[in-house]
Structures are given as structure tokens and as C-alpha cells.
Amino acid sequence: MNVDITFLPSGRKASVRAGTTVLDASRRAGVSIRTRCDGKAACLMCKVLAENPSGLSPLQDNERRKLAGTDRLGTRLSCQARVLGHAVVEVPEDPLKAAVRRQLMRQAEEDELW
Ligand code: FES
């Protein structure tokens, strides 16, 4: 049985087999989620925010331990959370891209002053 997942903010969607990890679904949708351990729940770089947690598998002990101290409700590791129903997840902006974007905005504002 296939289920749908939507990735925000891009709005890209994928239809995947139920039980597929969010990380694998993101690759199918062409959405980039940072990872260093390639799905072994070691790097903690693949965090996403579940907009409707009922579409994802429940937290398992390993993921719960890894996310201990995360203060944002709905945070999941995309390599551990599996798509079980219609799911919507928000993918945080890559911190390096965010830093470059902020610097470019600052530079554009300075250029306007000249
Ligand atoms: S990919 Fe490294 S923790 Fe999920």
C-alpha cells in the first residue's frame, strides 16, 4: 500500500510504500535532508518537524533516547521515522545555506546604500 508524504516548505510530495523511512521518501521526492551517518541514527543531522505526527510511526526507544533534550515537540529523526499514513513534515533549512543567504541579504542591503 502506498502512502503520501509532503515536505515543507517546498511542498514536494512523494508516494511511497508504507513503512518507508522519511529520509528515503525525501530522496524520492528530491528533497535534500542533511545526513552524515546515512541513516544509522548516529549523526542527528536529519531532524525534521512532523506537522501531523499521526502519519508517522511512533517514537521507538532508540529515537527517543537520541532526541532527549530536544525541546521542540514533533521533532523526529527522518532516518528512523517511517511513513505510515498521509504525512507532512517540515525540513529545516541547512544552516550553511542559511548563513550564506543571510550574508547575501546583508550585502544587498549595503549595496543599496551606495
Ligand atoms: S541520518 Fe544520521 S541520525 Fe538520521
Mutating to test ligand 1, I would choose from 22, 34, 44, 67 the residue with most ligand atoms within 8 A of its C-beta, which is: 44
Residue 50, strand partner residues:
89
Looking at residue 34, its pLDDT comes to: 93
Mutating to test ligand 1, I would choose from 46, 75, 82 the residue with most ligand atoms within 8 A of its C-beta, which is: 46
Three-state SS at 85:
coil
Measuring from each residue's beta carbon to the nearest atom of ligand 1, which residues come in under 6 Å? 35, 37, 39, 41-46, 77, 79
Cα 5 to Cα 16: distance, rounded to the nearest angstrom: 8
* For residues 50-69, average pLDDT: 92
Is pLDDT at 82 greater than 90 in this prediction? yes
| Per-domain residue ranges of the chain | 2-113
How many C-beta atoms surround the C-beta of residue 13 within 10 A? 16
Cell numbers given for 92: 529545516
Q: Which residue has the higher pLDDT, 60 or 53?
A: 60
The hierarchical CATH code for the domain 2-113 is: 3.10.20.30
Confidence of residue 13 (pLDDT cuts 50, 70, 90): very high
Looking at residue 112, its pLDDT comes to: 84
Looking at residue 67, its pLDDT comes to: 92
Is pLDDT at 99 greater than 90 in this prediction? yes
Confidence of residue 72 (pLDDT cuts 50, 70, 90): confident
* For residues 60-74, average pLDDT: 88
Looking at residue 5, its pLDDT comes to: 98
Provide the CA 90 distance to its chain's centre, in angstroms. Answer: 6
Looking at residue 97, its pLDDT comes to: 87
